[in-house]
Amino acid sequence: MSDEIDLPDKPKRRRGIYLLPNLFTTAALFSGFYAIVAAINNRFEAAAIAIFIAMILDGIDGRVARLTNTQSAFGAEYDSLSDLVCFGIAPALLMYEWSLSSLAALSNLFGKIGWLAAFIYTAATALRLARFNTQVGKVDKAHFQGLASPSAAAVMAGFVWMSTDHQLDGTVLAIPALIITVATGALMVSNIRYRSFKELDLKGPVPFVKVLSVVMLFVLISVSPPQVLFVSFLLYAISGPVFTLIQLRKHRAARFTVDNPNSTLRKRPSADD
């Protein structure tokens, strides 16, 4: 009689990747690659639209993974690589082909500044994604540290789309394009906080007014997609520095009050005094 006890076999972990969320990531990657090809072939409007489509698909894949409980380390890495192509390389190449390349006509120095600005934006996107991946679970989910790469890409693509819709040549807007490219890159790697809107509950019931506001938002965008999208994301990009300055002023005022508890504000003399 043997003293050995037969232990039940441990359930083997299934190897492979989840198909559904990665299908959306692949579709986003395809849109980003198509934007690059379209920009090379001077189809700037199609390239800008493809970047916005990639942005929508990128927002879907993460929510699908969470709703279906199919999150994985592979999906997170794949999503980051897709984001680098869609929101780093594609917008930078689009802006360079549409406008920044024309700076070479001024001088060799300005030509170098044009492609270096596009590189700065691409490098900032890579750094932004790397920092985000290393801080997952450590930062406030309600806010982003720095401008998110999809929002930065939306500013870049929206500017090109709006300009081409008004039949404006990129060579005329080379300086604004240069400023937007460098500024959005700097905002991505900054410590400025932006609201992430991740606290929105998509599964629970919401008031009827919110549903109506979503309908009105779609109506507003459909009136003039290039202008509305560009202005909306530009205001979002500006909102970070504006609210940061407001918070700094509040902190300084509170610190002044604490350090000087007996201080009072003098009333300015008026005409009636």
- The ranges assigned to domains in the chain are 19-199+207-259
What gap in Å lies between CA 22 and CA 41, rounded to an integer? 28
CA distances from 211 to 60, 81, 197, 215, 223 (A): 19, 34, 16, 6, 19
- Helices and strands counted in the chain (H then E): 9, 2
Residue type, 189: V
pLDDT band for position 196 (cuts 50, 70, 90) = confident
What gap in Å lies between CA 55 and CA 84, rounded to an integer? 12
CATH superfamily of 19-199+207-259: CDP-alcohol phosphotransferase transmembrane (TM) domain (1.20.120.1760)
pLDDT band for position 2 (cuts 50, 70, 90) = very low
> What average pLDDT does the segment 259-272 reach?
54
More confident residue, 261 or 151: 151
What gap in Å lies between CA 179 and CA 50, rounded to an integer? 23
> How much of the chain exceeds pLDDT 70, in percent?
82
More confident residue, 55 or 16: 55
